[in-house]
Amino acid sequence: MRLSISCLILGLVVVATAAARPKIIIDNDWNAGAYITFLLAIDAGYEVLGLVGDTANSWSRQTSLHALALLEIGNLSCIPVHKGTDYPLLNNEGLWETRKLLHGPLPYEGVFQPYNETAEAIGRDPSSGDPKRLALPAFVEGFPNTTLASEDAAAWMVEQVRKYPGEVLIYSGGAFTNIALATRMDSSFASSTKGLVAMGGYIDVMLYQTSGSKTLADINSDINLKIDPEASKIALTAAFPSITLVGNGANQVFPDQAYIDDVATAKTPYTNLFQKYYGTELPFWDELAMFAAIYPNHVTNATSFYVDVDTAWSSPYYGNIMAYQKILMPRSQNLQKINYINQINATALKSAMKSAMECPQCISYCGCGSKRKH
Ligand SMILES: *[C@@H]1O[C@H](CO)[C@@H](O)[C@H](O)[C@H]1NC(C)=O
Ligand SMILES: *[C@@H]1O[C@H](CO)[C@@H](O)[C@H](O)[C@H]1NC(C)=O
Ligand SMILES: *[C@@H]1O[C@H](CO)[C@@H](O)[C@H](O)[C@H]1NC(C)=O
Ligand SMILES: *[C@@H]1O[C@H](CO)[C@@H](O)[C@H](O)[C@H]1NC(C)=O
Ligand SMILES: *[C@@H]1O[C@H](CO)[C@@H](O)[C@H](O)[C@H]1NC(C)=O
């Protein structure tokens, strides 16, 4: 009884403040460890209009179902999930394999790493082969009991941005395929958003490909952009009111066991997943990009420059960004001046993630006991 009254009061507060909340759409190649981005946004007071599942680390069907499951475990199923396209605009497995012969493999190849039945049987998300197939062992968070929204991601994003002109921040943690499609579908899409923030856009990191471990090479390659170079170019040269790229700076903060133990002192479905599966090998990439966007006061070092994306298929830099100052930039195209994040306050990031994973909002965000299914 006490619980339901506090839930009701919380619910009323949520309703009362709903109009004032900033809005965000979170597009990502979701996996079982990807819950922190939407939890950070919710914790910072954002209204999450929906999640989009794209193809980058794995196929969009698998990533979208991960998104549904991750919402479900936190009572957040009122947030819809829209599936993105199966394929990048042009790229596919055959082209990827051909490029590997010309320019060498990337240390991590995301959805285009060769199909490996054994790896999928023990928990890896699917790569190559049929984009519709699922790998169930990867759903360590549970397989979703809710369903995907029927509308395709790009059309839905266009509709949301028309509904709330100037209000919607677009977050991209995977490939830009669906954002590029929305940009082309409605030529006022980009300029009608609040802005774009994206994880990716590494620059001047080539020596890391040679001078360290394969992991060091991996975390300095740019899989999000290179999975769909044409879409990266369309999105990053579109007239968003602001574009924030978090590339090199996204490698700044790594998990460590002491932090994982500290987070796990609170018992929620998210701290539980974090403790069991997050690991300490890879940096907080997507989390740091979200943090930089929603807590700009904690950005401690940033710069800005004009950006293009190399889309010459035969180029070894295919899918990498090119950076310019105004007097030296190409004249035949409209490049955007982007904000490039070099550093954020790591202490503040870790404390925001901890508070987000405790998720005090999970009890009331979707209204008490009501689970709107999509
Ligand atoms: C869906 O329901 C089944 C059966 O109750 C459960 O095992 C599973 O964990 C649920 N999925 C999620 C994501 O909560
Ligand atoms: C397939 O995945 C398994 C398990 O991760 C691994 O041991 C094996 O080397 C992989 N096979 C290939 C050809 O990469
Ligand atoms: C900001 O970051 C850039 C790139 O890492 C670095 O070269 C520069 O020294 C930094 N500036 C300060 C004031 O730390
Ligand atoms: C970083 O954030 C922490 C926690 O919010 C704060 O105490 C500290 O002063 C900040 N440091 C800088 C350099 O802003
Ligand atoms: C989800 O709702 C149930 C029922 O109100 C509650 O017991 C549970 O703690 C909630 N989960 C989270 C993560 O808050």
Ligand 2 is surrounded, with C-beta below 6 A, by: 116, 118-119
Q: What is the pLDDT of residue 2?
A: 45
Q: How far apart are CA 331 and CA 221, in angstroms?
A: 28
271 close to 224: Cβ distance less than 8 angstroms: no
Neighbours of 301 (CB within 10 A): 11
What does the pLDDT look like over 20-59, one tens digit per residue?
899 999 999 999 999 999 999 999 999 999 999 999 999 9
Closest residue by Cα to atom 3, ligand 2, is 119
CB within 8 A of 210, min separation 6: which ones? 217
Supply the pLDDT for residue 211.
87
Could you give the C-alpha distances from 11 to 86, 225, 354, 361, 363, in angstroms and in order? 37, 40, 23, 10, 9
| pLDDT at residue 327, rounded to an integer | 96
- Tell whether ligand 1 has an atom less than 6 A from the beta carbon of residue 73: yes
* Residues 299, 252: Cα–Cα separation, whole Å: 12
Look at residue 20 in the predicted model and tell me its pLDDT: 81
For residue 354, how far is its CA from the centre of ligand 3 (angstroms)?
27
- Residue by residue, pLDDT tens for the chain (374 residues) are 445 555 556 555 555 555 689 999 999 999 999 999 999 999 999 999 999 999 999 999 999 999 999 999 999 999 999 999 999 999 999 999 999 999 999 999 999 999 999 999 999 999 999 999 999 999 999 999 999 999 999 999 999 999 999 999 999 999 999 999 999 999 999 999 999 999 999 999 999 999 889 999 999 999 999 999 999 999 999 999 999 999 999 999 999 999 999 999 999 999 999 999 999 999 999 999 999 999 999 999 999 999 999 999 999 999 999 999 999 999 999 999 999 999 999 999 999 999 999 999 999 999 975 444 44
Cα(299) to ligand 3 centroid in Å equals 12
* pLDDT for res 114: 96
- pLDDT of 41 reads 98
Cα dist. 139→63, 122, 278, 281 in Å? Answer: 10, 11, 14, 20
Report DSSP state, residue 2: H
| Confidence (pLDDT) at 5 | 56
Ligand 2 mutation pick, 116, 125, 214, max ligand atoms within 8 A of CB: 116
CB 292 within 8 A of CB 199: no
CA distances from 209 to 77, 115, 206 (A): 41, 24, 5
Alpha-carbon gap, residue 158 to 169, rounded angstroms: 13
pTM score, whole prediction: 0.95
Does residue 225 contact residue 91 with C-beta atoms inside 8 Å? no
**Radius of gyration over alpha carbons of the chain, in Å?**
20
Mutate to test the pocket of ligand 1, among 145, 146, 272 (most ligand atoms within 8 A of CB): 145
CA of 348, nearest ligand number: 4
Q: Give the largest Cα separation in the chain, rounded.
A: 67
- Which atom in ligand 5 lies closest to the alpha carbon of residue 269? 13
Q: If you measure from the C-alpha of residue 61 to the centroid of ligand 1, how many angstroms do you get, rounded to a whole number?
A: 18
Q: How many A from CA of 249 to the centre of ligand 4?
A: 17
Question: What number of other Cβ atoms are within 10 A of residue 78's Cβ?
Answer: 16
- Please report the pLDDT score of residue 109 as a whole number: 97
Q: Decide: 47 and 168 in contact? Cβ < 8 Å.
A: no
Q: Under DSSP, is residue 345 helix (H, G, I), strand (E, B) or coil?
A: coil
Q: Is 347 in the pocket of ligand 4 (CB under 6 A)?
A: yes
Q: Which of 95, 113, 158 minimizes the C-alpha distance to 319?
A: 95
Q: Is residue 322 packed enough to be buried (19+ CB in 10 Å), middle (13-18) or exposed (0-12)?
A: middle
DSSP for 208-228 reads GGTSS-HHHHHHTS-HHHHSS
